[in-house]
Structure 1
């Protein structure tokens, strides 16, 4: 569904995205994982036609991405990192306005809006002005807005940034439901557990480059199923990775400080290969 072929994006002497090459199958939930400044948002901007690659090309459903490709715009939905809602309009009015942009007939739009409000659990507050919504409610409305045209491909740029844990979990449920509908979803996030929980494939990005692309399970197997975490003699945290719990326990017998043995996470993978935590 999405093909990113040797894409590089430069701003003067600065390379924001460096020779990225990815194929994303139809119906997959794909995460682009990396720290702030890794190049995730720049890549998303090129995927939706707001920025032009310096070199390389991007295809969605075999159509080349560019700013004026209106046919392509009709088949994608976008949830940007920053709020794109009209604060003076109500919840429902925001969706009505979006439906008009896509020239959806009034009756069909009304039915679709009712469905979306139920889907994102905002039906009871559909007449509330947007500027009176909580952060989590605004994020839900942005997702509903992105789904108004029933897109085949959805881009989510940090969809749960800055909201509380309970709201984040509820949005995860919405995203999982979207996945079951067979939509192709590309998610950028720096929340490790978000990518691990939602996605069937993950790409690790740092300094504009993709350095690993696989399933969360396979990426964690690169290190080992279990992680031994402990303080060394300089009171710095050390990490050792093992294929089995028994191997980790045997190794821990020689450790004189406090230690923890736990399941390996995607954060361990990212930290091990970049020595830079996702923050």
Structure 2
């Protein structure tokens, strides 16, 4: 019986052979499509000999071979006949023996898309960690205000005022936190900071007397109260603006206070009242 089907199938075109074999087995195109996983529209093009409607010559040969295997015809024989009808030259290695996955190539996504998505994800993650590491040491990355020399009084007529008592400039330099504030106190060229961290409200830091040229950096100058002995020093910078390299030498701080008094006519510095509940002193 199989020889009879083969003999009958050799007559006519490839499409006629495959259709006759399918009908001989009592199969519908839907059943062949399920078995071979080839779309029905491609099977219809094969039976009608519409090779131009198929994706490519290699797909045409592969689909026809899978169809032939499903209906009991020798796949290599059908593949050779398809190549002959399509006018394809036979290569030096003989008939095509590669098996093509009988799936719709339009539904297979390119592998490069997944690779590009993976590279983008890696770059985003790496950029996030670099940004986080660079932001740890500088809590407020705003414009720096470098300490300028104390302003000199301008020569101009001023109303006669009672002479202000000059600031003594004696005593230790103490930084007291009015609110929680981050700061760093160091010396140019020093190997380590004299102090770095968050000073809690009420805590105090006394600049060591041995420091030669101490300077401060902070992002909230208004949260620090600076004193030289019993003399209160004006704020070291505008509120919520990062200051850097501002001198904490007693003589420079007193000069800053005297300059502020001369320009604004402020009252002379008064002794600092002791804190009602002083916090721990940071050293």
Shorter chain as denominator, the TM-score bin is under 0.3
From the CA coordinates, give the structure whose radius of gyration is larger.
2
TM-score, with structure 2 as normaliser: 0.23
| TM-score (structure 1 length as normaliser) | 0.23
Q: Of Structure 1 and Structure 2, which has the larger fraction of its residues in strand?
A: 1
